Structure 1
């Protein structure tokens, strides 16, 4: 995404306008909450409480889906206009509290003008009838067209390419999905079924599937899978429902991988505490995305990761743990801003590395990361102050510095405060910020509290420095390498 300092420039260039009694009003103004990396995303003035998203899939993943998105929000200020993030679909009508509202588009904002202002503190229901277009480049995010249907990959800024929303992780909400699809298709979404699939008269031969989340979720983590899939059920720790969604023809081939998940869950729980959601599972899609993704309660994986040649078993295992670890770090505890991304990816990479330690000792991996760290910082910025993405490369914020470079920060913290204190920080972090959002400053504050001393200087150097600081306990380590690729988020 081509970023600007603010969206005012886009507003000045906007050509859309709304006509009222023959007068031309000023062009609708796109807003954004001023995120350093994605200033176009999010909208001020309200807090979304819930989304109820209805989708109708006709069986052809090259055609737009008909959709209705119902948003319940609480106004945090009086609003004459309400902005939503939305692109790659056509709006047919908008209602605010049951009354038709005027609307216009500007950039990737849907600007709504209610018949009456929305007053601060009031609860407001916005209903948008629209289409949702699945055709586009995978790199743009949103819908992913699979071999037998659709799935979602909305990270970091692409949920609004599927449905109207406040598309920023700082505004988490509860989700309900009601998806109508041909009876030969299976639909699975975040959360658990809230009703049994039921046949409908229109369209003929279609079935409605309904899912609801039990915990709030960021828009970037939404997932709806539509395909000729098998859904496999098993139990995890404490009786946790584990469900996997795979191409029906691949059940036997994939089962050796799928049966590993309960043990992965147990391994993570021993280190950071109980799994934070109502269910977990793996969604394996026949699609070439170039990444895996921690969509909440149902992580998205490419089929080729499990069926392709060249990946050792331990490596695939560790990638599965990486996406699972995100359910504590990034999903349950979400970033306040995208510059806090290091907290997501650094932790997921940390637990991935710990899981694979028998095959690749942690100290060797961290020494190699240290050797490359200065190059990563030059190319992508420090871990907590990453450079914006390049034009046309929205996901280029996912650079090595936020993966191995940020896991290196956690290794340095453990070296600095000791293993026992570090484990306390990890457990308290996911416990005290569960179902919420948190910042880098929150992590610094907690670490200082647990350590019993001010760690602000330590973190300032490790998170914001252009050069990698000396590694505690390894003063002989040196950094000199350049940036390399990454393949998962």
Structure 2
């Protein structure tokens, strides 16, 4: 249905009455109304003015894009604030809200290949959507002393107007004004800082294309801890100022973890900087926001959490900088390429540095895999999240279930070929988007044989295939079925 609406919006004949504003989408299987047809975004330039508490921020978002078809109107995803005005190339444009879309009608149609800029003056509301919870909606999250962002999967458009789909990566610049006793940090590198009496404006620029879900802005009473990683990489951690010393031993682990990941992927870290944003907030997750991964404070301060576990979670988010941030999924059904790989390197690090055998974890995952597939779909075709909880797509089937696919592939083609595949994957698709089909094709090329027949059941099957090299592995459901058929279980159907 969304695809049919695309055609009518993008190709209305000259002189015809414009269609009524309606939400569009690019037809993503899991998020059909996310993304917008007819243009490609090159850059976002976002001004935010924070005055404390949960008051809406005054904001200006500039979207630089290029038309890919005739545009009589264009849609931006936006749901988290009030729109005050819209301009296209400096001229005021008509606008209307339609669902979670902002529909903009310029004074003249945009032609294919034509660059344009949309400027939206709006508010950005940290209180979430009406009727929603603060954390469940995503977007802005409240910390003990300010704000941070958690936009995955579909919440960036609750912070700023955008083309909110990972397939349309763009460069970002942030200008954030806040009281001068607060520290503002965003993804990318600092460009400048200017004081205006009791307030300060901070500017940051992301130097590589980024998906909207990976944007990060932190505002609070923070300490910025700087260091150096492999090859002179600038490191920048953002922590509650009062906990700087307490958290320092954890921050000191990042250079070695970076060196470990660079060795596994065969190349340097893909971005301009890296660091941890440790926030006093309750999210229930950690998040790989580009160049500045978000972590809950309690992960590092809760007694009795094993050291190896914290290390492996840190590596999980670090691995995402390659798998998910640099190489971004073309659709949300390709999420396993992110989470399966991050879980793979998390588990591999836990084996090499924490003494937690990878094979043991994979065998346990195999035992549960059929149940995961029944509950949430196979790794490359996950089921949608429950209504109002789109984060529900982040299920075990794409985490350990995705890592299990990689383990099976390594068993099938051998460790050396698997390592070549991983290195080729991040090199070939750096700063771009890629799909499950791309991965299958590259795996086949590296292995020297067509692997589609092997990988398809692992990626899309309702039941987990036999594990190469481990015929004794059984799923819990399979073991139960075999037990039910055993003569030692009278009364069960045969």
Q: TM-score range by the shorter chain?
A: over 0.9
* Offset of residue 94 of structure 1: 0.2
Partner of 2:330 in structure 1?
A: 336
Q: Distance in 1 between matches of 2:246 and 2:190?
A: 27
Q: Distance in 2 between matches of 1:194 and 1:298?
A: 16
Q: In the TM superposition, what whole-angstrom CA distance separates every residue of 1:291-336 from its partner, at most 9, and x where no partner exists?
A: 0000000000000000112310000000000000000000000000
Contact 1:139 1:394 (C-alpha < 8 Å) held by counterparts: no
Q: In the TM superposition, what whole-angstrom CA distance separates every residue of 1:111-130 from its partner, at most 9, and x where no partner exists?
A: 00001111110000000000
1:225-236 matches, within 5 Å, as 225-236=218-229
Contact 1:7 1:39 (C-alpha < 8 Å) held by counterparts: no
Q: Relative to structure 2, which stretch is displaced further, 104-113 or 358-367?
A: 358-367
TM-score, normalising length: structure 1: 0.93
What value does the CA root-mean-square deviation take over the aligned residues? 1.7
Q: Distance in 1 between matches of 2:52 and 2:275?
A: 25
**Corresponding residue SS for 2:97:** strand
Contact 1:199 1:207 (C-alpha < 8 Å) held by counterparts: yes
Partner of 2:486 in structure 1?
A: none
Mark the runs of 5 or more structure 2 residues left unpaired by the alignment.
6-16, 129-133, 479-494
Report whether the alignment pairs 1:441 with 2:443: no
Number of residue pairs aligned between Structure 1 and Structure 2: 462
Contact 1:71 1:127 (C-alpha < 8 Å) held by counterparts: yes
Q: Distance in 1 between matches of 2:251 and 2:20?
A: 52
Q: Distance in 1 between matches of 2:139 and 2:304?
A: 29
1:27-426 matches, within 5 Å, as 27-60=20-53, 62-136=54-128, 137-195=134-192, 197-200=193-196, 204-272=197-265, 273-357=267-351, 358-426=354-422
Contact 1:142 1:158 (C-alpha < 8 Å) held by counterparts: yes
Partner of 2:471 in structure 1?
A: 475
Tell me which structure has the larger Cα radius of gyration: 2
Partner of 1:428 in structure 2?
A: 424
Q: Distance in 2 between matches of 1:422 and 1:7?
A: 38
Q: Distance in 2 between matches of 1:381 and 1:299?
A: 28
Contact 1:33 1:42 (C-alpha < 8 Å) held by counterparts: yes
Contact 1:187 1:227 (C-alpha < 8 Å) held by counterparts: yes
Contact 2:322 2:426 (C-alpha < 8 Å) held by counterparts: yes
Structure 1 segments (4+ residues) deviating >2 Å: 5-9, 24-27
**Corresponding residue SS for 2:361:** helix
Q: Distance in 1 between matches of 2:153 and 2:477?
A: 27
* Offset of residue 359 of structure 1: 2.7
Q: Distance in 2 between matches of 1:291 and 1:76?
A: 37
**Corresponding residue SS for 2:397:** helix
Q: In the TM superposition, what whole-angstrom CA distance separates every residue of 1:103-159 from its partner, at most 9, and x where no partner exists?
A: 001000000000111111000000000000001321111000000000000000000
Q: In the TM superposition, what whole-angstrom CA distance separates every residue of 1:414-439 from its partner, at most 9, and x where no partner exists?
A: 00000000000000000000000000
Q: Distance in 2 between matches of 1:6 and 1:392?
A: 20
Q: In the TM superposition, what whole-angstrom CA distance separates every residue of 1:3-24 from its partner, at most 9, and x where no partner exists?
A: xx64889xxxxxxxxxxxxxx9
Q: Distance in 1 between matches of 2:338 and 2:372?
A: 18
Q: Distance in 1 between matches of 2:226 and 2:347?
A: 28
Partner of 2:481 in structure 1?
A: none
Q: Distance in 2 between matches of 1:416 and 1:7?
A: 39
